[in-house]
Amino acid sequence: MFSSVLIANRGEIACRVIRTARALGMRTIAVYSDADAKALHVRLADEAVNIGPAPVTESYLRAERIIAAAKETGAECIHPGYGFLSENAAFSEACAEAGIVFVGPPAAAIRAMGLKDGAKAIMEKAGVPVVPGYHGERQDPAFLKQKAYEIGYPVLIKAVAGGGGKGMRRVDKALAFEEALASAQREAKNAFGDERVLVEKYIESPRHVEVQVFADAHGNAVHLFERDCSVQRRHQKVVEEAPAPGMTEAVRAAMGAAAVAAAKAVGYVGAGTVEFIADGSTGLRPDGFWFMEMNTRLQVEHPVTEEITGLDLVAWQLMVAAGEALPLGQDELAIDGHAVEARLYAEDPDNGFLPSIGDLVALDFGAGEGIRVDTGVSEGGAVSPFYDPMIAKVIAHGATRDEAFDRLAAALRATVVAGPRTNLGFLARLLDHPEFRAGNFDTGFLDRHLDDLVGFSGGRAAVALGALRLVERDEERIRAETARRTGEPDSPWNTTDAFQLGPERRFVLPVTADGDDKKVELAWGPEGLSAAYYGAEPDWHDEAHGATIVDAPDGVYVLSDGVQTFVKFADPAAHEDEVEAEGRVGAPMHGKLVAMFVAPGQQVAKGDRLFIVEAMKMEHAVASPMDGVIADVRGVVGDQLDQGATVIVFEETEGEG
């Protein structure tokens, strides 16, 4: 076994590798960008080396800097985690040239499986079923559109070098093909440096089932059963579980054999995932699944496999990389219970799942039997605009699927995150959705049931609770100010600032909740101070069941059922210098302006695309909210934009007199 390892990654996977390496007695070395100087993975490692500025192209994707750090620290091997350089054949070769072991497959295997078109050709030759489509070299739009017509709509455009849903677009009609192709190619080039795509038949009611494979340098290869990753949003996995619901032993044997054959076909060594798409309309069948791609690395969702097998896959990776044989054969592997993983993200489900950044004012994960949390952040840290917005992976294991789901939903509801908005409530509702619980789902599940899962707010109770906490927290100052102004130290009712006296010793307090102006009615009675949303029914307290309140310097966070409401005192002068927002379109989030479709003087219609912002590795198109003429374009392609920054200004229209 190695004595030291450098982890060429960040966040929760870096922390995950560090834990196993330490358990094996290895010295751990982290690398970090300027933005990650205080990150958890840096604090956990025995040593840490700065490799450059925050953008990944200047730090985590700079192979020469990572190899230099490994040489400087005397690392015997480099574990790439996933993403970044984990599936980069040139990086694997550079490690070998530097005399450092790459914890991953041979460069030839990475190349063979790294390009979807070539991989499918290899799979066809090996007898692995593949989805019908065009996987050739020609890339001119007219030719690809013709191939899409021949395949038959709907089709899926996929980046040849892609993964994680990037560079992927579903197209239902020929009229939309050119625009979808251009968008997929642009996103693929930004993410992978390769704009080539393939076109495949889109499988209706698709199930995404993947098989974990492992192979060593001694000719041994096994599969560690399957994972179901069908619940996705924008082709990004949201919840993963193992084993797959509805899986029979016959289908498992066929799919597992196909996965092992795929690994052997490219001389694979190490951990990999063979991803299949299955037709979910008729249930899982031995003749109803097709090869999609092979990820030549550890997957984000590997913990569910670890939970049902009792194995440490990172330890297996390190053993295989050190030249050891697989510790177990296929007949020694077995499934124990059920496991499910939810990806907790800093994003706003009620605003199109846009990424949310900022300081983690509070962070406390819900514990419980069978619960595991893999995270790369801690309270006091921050979610950066430069990287994936994942806060943690929360995993539950149970004897049955229902038990695992119950445990995970309870853990999510007990988790406290204050600062950035999160998908906590969305995930908990998803796990409790009756159709998901019944196993009636495919990759279109979230699109069909989104209205059941989003649109929940803290409500008026959250506003009232926040206001009450603000007054209680600041009561001494309020009383002192009242005494100074009125000479009546025991009266909280005569203040002349924002408080407005009401009948029966009540007053109305103006606050802002998530930026919106609100009013809360407060009263001082025999039992102390109480509050209610102005004009609310007396039973408003029922809405606040289970709420958690977190103090912040400039306000309070009220957290209830995974929903966050930020409440602060209203500032009477806050609107004095505000620029009129009507007729302007701003950036929906912090990100990079990657495309602009309009120019000053141009007439646009409501719904026309104005510009595209790229954030957290995904593109977000912004459409015109109105018919009008563009007066000004503020920003050029390549600019980094702050959330809310004005990008488009419309010409003013004269009102009717």
**Which letter does DSSP use for residue 89 in this model?**
H
CATH of the domain at 596: 2.40.50.100
**pLDDT of 574:** 52
Residues 87 and 233 in one domain: no
Domain boundary among 529, 545, 569: 569
Residues 526 and 557 in one domain: yes
Residues 251 and 400 in one domain: yes
Query: What is the number of domains present in the chain?
Result: 5
Residues 227 and 303 in one domain: yes
82 CB-contact burial (10 Å; exposed 0-12 / middle 13-18 / buried 19+):
middle
Residues 260 and 373 in one domain: yes
Residues 63 and 11 in one domain: yes
Residues 547 and 589 in one domain: no
Is 338 in contact with 397 (CB distance < 8 Å)?
Answer: yes
CATH of the domain at 185: 3.30.1490.20
Question: Which tokens in the block code for residue 280?
Answer: 């979910």
Is 2 in contact with 79 (CB distance < 8 Å)?
Answer: no
Residues near 563 by Cβ (< 8 Å), separated by ≥ 6? 424, 425, 456, 457, 458, 462
Residues 166 and 273 in one domain: no
HSE-CB at 341 with a 13 A cutoff on CA atoms is 29
In a domain, 657, yes or no: no
**pLDDT of 87:** 93
Is 243 in contact with 401 (CB distance < 8 Å)?
Answer: no
In a domain, 118, yes or no: no
Question: Which tokens in the block code for residue 55?
Answer: 């953008």
C-alpha pair distances (Å), 573 with each of 23, 556, 570? 57, 20, 9
CATH of the domain at 364: 3.30.470.20
Neighbours of 474 (CB within 10 A): 12
Is 591 in contact with 385 (CB distance < 8 Å)?
Answer: yes
Residue 506 is among the residues annotated as catalytic for this protein: no
**pLDDT of 523:** 76
Straight-line distance from the first to the last Cα atom of the chain, in angstroms, rounded to the nearest whole number: 83
Kind and range of the H or E run holding 556: strand 555-560
Q: How far apart are CA 76 and CA 83, in angstroms?
A: 21
In a domain, 575, yes or no: no
Beta strands in 234-359 (DSSP E): 236-242, 270-279, 289-295, 338-345, 347-348, 354-355, 358-359
In a domain, 117, yes or no: no
- Residue of 100, 98, 89 whose CA lies nearest to 7: 100
Average pLDDT along the chain, 657 residues, taken 10 residues at a time: 97 97 98 96 98 94 97 98 94 97 96 82 90 90 96 93 83 96 92 90 91 97 97 91 96 96 95 93 89 93 98 98 98 98 94 89 94 97 91 98 97 95 96 96 94 86 88 71 54 46 62 88 72 56 67 93 90 49 79 91 92 77 90 90 87 60
Is 532 in contact with 540 (CB distance < 8 Å)?
Answer: yes
Q: What is the pTM of this model?
A: 0.81
HSE-CB at 105 with a 13 A cutoff on CA atoms is 31
Residues 49 and 31 in one domain: yes
Q: How far apart are CA 417 and CA 425, in angstroms?
A: 11
Is 130 in contact with 123 (CB distance < 8 Å)?
Answer: yes
C-alpha pair distances (Å), 282 with each of 279, 287, 410, 440? 7, 11, 32, 11
Residues 34 and 83 in one domain: yes
CATH of the domain at 74: 3.40.50.20
Residues 233 and 168 in one domain: no
**Which letter does DSSP use for residue 337 in this model?**
S
Domain boundary among 150, 173, 201: 201
**Domain carrying residue 270:** 206-435
Q: How far apart are CA 529 and CA 520, in angstroms?
A: 12
Question: Which tokens in the block code for residue 565?
Answer: 């409401």
Domain boundary among 369, 402, 435: 435
**pLDDT of 521:** 81
| Helices 63-73, 89-97: crossing angle, 10 deg rounding | 30
**Rounded to an integer, what is the distance from CA 5 to the centroid of its chain?**
27
Sheet holding 371-375, edge to edge: 289-295, 270-279, 206-215, 221-233, 236-242, 338-345, 390-398, 371-375
Q: How far apart are CA 64 and CA 91, in angstroms?
A: 9
Q: Is 455 left (phi over 0), alpha (psi -120 to 50) or beta?
A: left
Residues 560 and 419 in one domain: no
Q: Which of 297, 343, 413, 421 is catalytic?
A: 297
Neighbours of 341 (CB within 10 A): 28
